[in-house]
Structures are given as structure tokens and as C-alpha cells.
Amino acid sequence: MSDNVRTYTSKERNMYLLGLAGQNMIYNIIGTGLYFYFQSVIFVPAMAISIFMAVARVWDAINDPMMGTIVDKTNTKWGKCRPYLLFIPPVVLVITILTFCNGIYSSSNSNLQNVFIIGWAAVSYILWGMIYTVGDIPLWGVTSRMTEVEKDRASILSLARIAAGLGGGVVLLSITPLSQFVGQKLEGVAGSTAKSQQYGFIIVAAVLTIIGCGLFQLTGIFVRERVQSEDRKLTFKDNIRIMWGNKPFRKQLISGVLRSPIQMLLSVAMTLMSYYYGNYFGDYMLYMIILGGGIFGGQFIAMALVPKLMEKFEKTKLFIGSTIMGAIPFALIYPIYKIAPQDLDKPFWIAVLLVVFTLAGAGMGALNVLQSVMIAD
């Protein structure tokens, strides 16, 4: 390649992918771990969780273009995106850990105590989402400034999805089993099972967050912006108008909001599975690794197959099919339980659940790829 062509080095690419893996570790610490923590460790009422998570999703639809406008107006010696990648990871680290620092909701508490517990859960979760977005928009946006070669940009974005899946998968498979393992070791120190489980979760979440943010920080340190942006400056109103005027993007946005319950089903399903296997069977970690591995494996199988499927089928049809495929498996969990409530540890039913969770993961993995491609189109 000519020396005049401005593009990233292999070292930059690798550091960017490591950073993206770390950032997605943090995302799953909240997306998977925090939901379980709220519902099954500190017992925040499910209705309250549903309400403030729905509010957060709506706010995200406003916050994302707002952050895009801020990045667009940023001009520093480091570039537009890189300043955020340098300075946001430590802030994300702090707020991520703080979301787990809460009391335990209980009928023995005063009403005011429980209100504060729910209030901090809601405020910290929404605040985390805002701060995470401050790093997320520049992290994905910087790829257009790392290279002027379209092929290189497409290559790093395709690798980025794999890196993101790996980072998120590590947390998906490990955070709950490790937290419960550490919690069991702390029972003699904490004074109660509830407190020991809470401390176990806080410790594991903190360790994973430190690792994730450390990797995330690599992007700010090693990535360079080579491509200058156009002089045209867009206001927040301009971004909203362009975004809403883009019919395919508008459909994607609405679809994302409508599909948010499906994303929550993953956390609910893992919570139910962990409760069931944790209370009725001994090898809890083994079952969670098997079922979590199904989700993880399904995502990667789908991400590998979708590019081939797009050559034969319309993206819209694939998108609809993937949405259905991601939802139906979770709907099957309750009927499966009703059919064999005492036998879900048997090899046959473990195999059935593995298939169900693999299909659910495949649906989510396919949607991740299709959403990116359709927005890019």
C-alpha cells in the first residue's frame, strides 16, 4: 500500500479491538450482571426495575444523537473522538462499581430506606448509561477517522463485532457463577448469606470492571485519528432531523426500542435458571456455563453465517426472522419447566435447554450484525 494512504497500523487495530472487547465486558457487567444483582441479590422489585430500565431506553434514544453532536463539535490536538477515549474509561470504571453499591431491599427496612435503594438503583443505572454513551459513540465513530480506506474500515468493523462478542461473552459466562462462588467464601465474614452474596458480587464486578476499563483505555492510548472531518457542523436539531428523516434508520431505532423487552428476557431467563439450578441442584456453575455457553456459541455461529445469508436473502426478512428467533426460545422456557419441573438436570433436558439458549443467542448475534449493516446501508 502506498505511503500516502492514511490508514491504521496492525498494532492500532489490535489495541482498538482489545479496547472494544473491554468496553463490551463493561456493557455485560451491567446488561447481564446488574439485572441479576438487582433482582436476585438485593431484591429490588421487578416492577421498579422494568420502569427505570424502560425510562433509560427512551432516554438513550435522545442521548445518542446528543452525544454525536458533542463529538462532532469537539476539536482538540488529539482529534474529535480520542479525547473521550482517553478520559472516559476511568469515569466509567467508577460509575460501574457504584451501581453495585446499594442496600438490600427488605420488608424489615423502613419505607424511606427502600425508596432510597430503588432511587439509587434507578439514578445510578441511568447515569451509567449516559456516561457509557460518552465513550461508546466515539469508540465506534473513531474507525472512520483511523483510515481513509473503505476496505480497511469495513475490515476493522467486522472484527469489532467479534471482539465485542468475546468480551461480552467472558462476562456472560463468568460474572454470576464467580460472584456466587466468592460469596460462599465470605459467608463467615459477612454475617449473613444475603450480605455475603452481595459482597461477592461487588468484588467480582469490581475486578471485571477494572479489567474491562483497562482494556478500554488502550484505544485512547494507541489509536490515532488520521482523517480530517468535513467543515460542516451539525447541531443537535440537525442530527435529530437527519436521523428521523432517514427512513431505514428510523425503522431501526423504533425496532430497537420495541425489541428492548427481548433483551431483558435474556437477563430474566438467566435469573430464573440460576434460581432454579442454584436451589434444586448442586452443580450450579456447571449448568450456567453450559447454558451461557449456548448463548455465547449461538451468537458467534450467527455472526459467521449472516454475511453468507445476506447474499441469498433480503436483509429485512433476515432481520424479522432473527427477531422472532431471538424471542421464541425464551417463551419456551416456562412450558419446558411445566413439562419437566424436577428433571431439568437430566441430560435430555439439559440438551433441550442448550438448543433453546443457542437459538436465542443466534437470534441476538444475527440482529447485531444485521443492525450494523442496515444502518451502514
- The whole-number pLDDT of residue 255 equals 59
Is residue 269 included in any domain, yes or no? yes
Cβ neighbour number for residue 115 with a 10 Å cutoff: 12
pLDDT in tens, 130-167: 999 999 889 988 888 888 887 888 788 778 878 888 89
Please check whether residue 369 is in contact with residue 161, taking contact to mean a CB–CB distance below 8 angstroms: yes
Average pLDDT over residues 124-130: 94
Q: Which of 218, 245, 272 is the last residue of a domain?
A: 245
Average pLDDT over residues 98-118: 94
123-to-24, 29, 111 alpha-carbon distances in Å: 21, 17, 18
Please check whether residue 147 is in contact with residue 7, taking contact to mean a CB–CB distance below 8 angstroms: yes
Is residue 252 included in any domain, yes or no? no
Q: Which of 223, 245, 267 is the last residue of a domain?
A: 245
Q: How confident is the model at residue 317 (pLDDT cuts 50, 70, 90)?
A: confident
pLDDT in tens, 193-223: 889 999 999 999 999 999 999 999 999 999 9
Mean pLDDT estimate for the chain: 82
Please check whether residue 333 is in contact with residue 356, taking contact to mean a CB–CB distance below 8 angstroms: yes
Q: Are residues 368 and 271 in the same domain?
A: yes
Is residue 213 included in any domain, yes or no? yes
Q: Are residues 60 and 190 in the same domain?
A: yes
Q: Are residues 264 and 348 in the same domain?
A: yes
CA distance 3 to 190: 61
Q: Are residues 164 and 277 in the same domain?
A: no
305 burial (CB, 10 Å; 0-12 / 13-18 / 19+) is middle
Please check whether residue 297 is in contact with residue 360, taking contact to mean a CB–CB distance below 8 angstroms: no
Judged against a pLDDT cut of 80, whether residue 170 lies above it is answered with yes
Half-sphere exposure (Cβ direction) of 44: Cα atoms closer than 13 Å: 27
Q: Are residues 267 and 297 in the same domain?
A: yes
- The whole-number pLDDT of residue 281 equals 58
Cβ neighbour number for residue 253 with a 10 Å cutoff: 18
Q: Are residues 241 and 278 in the same domain?
A: no
Any idea what the CATH number is for the domain that residue 9 is in?
Answer: 1.20.1250.20
- The whole-number pLDDT of residue 15 equals 95
Mapped onto helix, strand or coil, the DSSP state of residue 231 is coil
Is residue 322 included in any domain, yes or no? yes
Lowest mean pLDDT among 142-151, 174-183, 205-214, 316-325: 316-325
pLDDT in tens, 256-270: 655 556 656 666 666
Judged against a pLDDT cut of 50, whether residue 238 lies above it is answered with yes
Q: Are residues 188 and 225 in the same domain?
A: yes
Between these two residues, 299 and 11, which has the higher pLDDT value? 11
- The whole-number pLDDT of residue 2 equals 44
Judged against a pLDDT cut of 50, whether residue 1 lies above it is answered with no
CA distance 286 to 298: 18
- The whole-number pLDDT of residue 92 equals 96
Of 177, 203, 209, 180, residue with least CA distance to 193: 180
Q: From the CA atom positions of the chain, what is the Rg in Å?
A: 21
Q: Are residues 236 and 193 in the same domain?
A: yes
C-alpha cell at 83: 479525547
Please check whether residue 248 is in contact with residue 99, taking contact to mean a CB–CB distance below 8 angstroms: no
Greatest mean pLDDT range, 117-131, 148-162, 169-183, 312-326: 117-131
Greatest mean pLDDT range, 79-93, 155-169, 229-243: 79-93
Q: Are residues 274 and 150 in the same domain?
A: no
Judged against a pLDDT cut of 60, whether residue 7 lies above it is answered with yes
Of 214, 198, 210, residue with least CA distance to 100: 198
Between these two residues, 260 and 52, which has the higher pLDDT value? 52
> By residue range, what is the domain housing residue 271?
259-377
Report the DSSP beta bridge partners of residue 79. Answer: 76
- The whole-number pLDDT of residue 116 equals 96
Is residue 278 included in any domain, yes or no? yes
- The whole-number pLDDT of residue 266 equals 62
User: Which residue type does 208 have?
Assistant: L
Q: Are residues 2 and 34 in the same domain?
A: yes
Judged against a pLDDT cut of 80, whether residue 71 lies above it is answered with no
Give the count of domains, the chain: 2
- Classify residue 225 by its DSSP letter: -
Please check whether residue 165 is in contact with residue 299, taking contact to mean a CB–CB distance below 8 angstroms: yes
pLDDT in tens, 330-377: 778 778 888 887 887 788 988 998 898 888 888 877 877 776 666 545
Cβ neighbour number for residue 129 with a 10 Å cutoff: 19
Is residue 240 included in any domain, yes or no? yes
CA distance 320 to 326: 10
User: Which residue type does 347 have?
Assistant: P
Q: Are residues 234 and 100 in the same domain?
A: yes
Q: What percent of the chain has pLDDT over 90?
A: 28
Q: Are residues 240 and 264 in the same domain?
A: no
| Neighbouring residues of 118: CB distance < 8 A, sequence distance ≥ 6 | 44, 45, 48, 105
Judged against a pLDDT cut of 50, whether residue 178 lies above it is answered with yes
Is residue 350 included in any domain, yes or no? yes
Of 174, 204, 202, residue with least CA distance to 103: 202
Is residue 79 included in any domain, yes or no? yes
